[in-house]
A and B are shown apart, each in its own frame.
Chain A
Amino acid sequence: MSDERAPVTIDPSAPAAQPVVDDATGWTASVRRRVEKTLPITELLPTKQPAYIGSWVYVFGVVTIAALFWLVISGVVLAFFGSAWWHVSSVGHFFNSIHFWSVQMFFIFMVLHLWGQFWGAGWRDGRAKTWMVGVVIFSISVGTAFTGYVVQQNFDSQWIAINAKDAINSTGFGGLFNALNFGQMYGLHVMLFPIGVTLLVVLHIIQVRAKGVVRPIDDPFQVTP
């Protein structure tokens, strides 16, 4: 085989290529420059990770997200058909069970993820905000689980709601948060809390991708400034 391509010639008199200068003004350009700086696409969707990521401890977070995915899917189905369906029909029982077991998996793996980040001090090297958003996600998740327990529409939910009403009244928040107010509990459970959790989980992932996964405490490659 012969190479028939013409040889490359360089004209020394040709003007040099000018570097691209982003001098656009306005808030759109400002946001674009900030996003490009803090979260370039190679960091948002990386194809390689540090070697220390090769541990099952780093799987707990993504399993929590998988559980959240099935929670939302099964929750949408339950909300669409209502309590008379999820308590009576066999398919309703099935989706009710998926919702119940998804929340068990969600909390189990969220707590395992919390243990991993706590003992690994995941807030190091500028990751304090990532840790704090995780704390807020955990807190809202507890509220979401509680409102879920009191809107099951069975004797169990009535028992929980009546006892919780007394407990919340003792804190002084009973006038704002009434566990016996089904409309309030249901609205919080299917709208405000899950939307809050989902948006904060997206923010949490973006934070992790922007900073990268924290180095192990005894990392032999740690560079001290």
Chain B
Amino acid sequence: MDAPAPYIHWGFILISLPNFVLICVMVLLFVLALVAPFPSHGPKGPRDE
């Protein structure tokens, strides 16, 4: 905990491993939110407005 984080260095990109992992998790969460089925209740018509 009391040591500097490892860094990833690709050309001009320099990012700490924890930040890189966090961004990957966020992207994964966003993609999952787009494709995962959302629970619904009751009959649905073409538009429940």
| Cross-chain contact A55 with B29 (CB below 8 angstroms) | no
| Cross-chain contact B48 with A116 (CB below 8 angstroms) | no
Would A57 and B47 be within 8 Å (CB), given that A108-B26, A111-B26, A112-B29 are in contact?
no
> Please, what's the 1-or-0 string for B8-35, where 1 marks a CB less than 8 Å from any CB in chain A?
0000000000000010001001101110
B29 CB to nearest chain A CB (Å): 6
Which residues of chain B come closer than 8 Å to A115, judged between CB atoms? 30
Q: Which residue of A lies closest to B48 (CB)?
A: A51
| Cross-chain contact B34 with A57 (CB below 8 angstroms) | yes
A108 CB to nearest chain B CB (Å): 6
A65 CB to nearest chain B CB (Å): 17
Roughly how many angstroms separate A55 CA and B33 CA in the complex, as a whole number? Answer: 7
Chain B residues touching A, majority SS: loop
Would A56 and B33 be within 8 Å (CB), given that A108-B26, A111-B26, A112-B26 are in contact?
yes
Would A48 and B48 be within 8 Å (CB), given that A56-B32, A60-B33 are in contact?
yes
* Contact sample, A vs B, 23 pairs, CB 8 Å cutoff: A49-B48, A50-B48, A51-B44, A51-B45, A51-B47, A51-B48, A55-B33, A55-B34, A55-B38, A56-B32, A56-B34, A56-B36, A56-B38, A57-B34, A59-B33, A60-B33, A111-B26, A112-B30, A112-B33, A115-B30, A116-B30, A116-B33, A221-B47
Q: What 10 pairs between A and B have smallest CB-CB spacing?
A: A56-B33, A54-B38, A51-B48, A57-B33, A50-B49, A54-B40, A55-B38, A56-B36, A51-B47, A112-B30
User: Apart from A115-B30, A221-B47, what are 17 other A-B pairs with CB-CB below 8 Å?
Assistant: A49-B48, A50-B49, A51-B44, A51-B47, A51-B49, A54-B38, A54-B40, A55-B33, A56-B34, A56-B36, A56-B38, A57-B30, A108-B22, A112-B29, A116-B30, A116-B33, A221-B46
A: which residues have CB within 8 A of B? Answer: 48-51, 54-57, 59-60, 108, 111-112, 115-116, 221
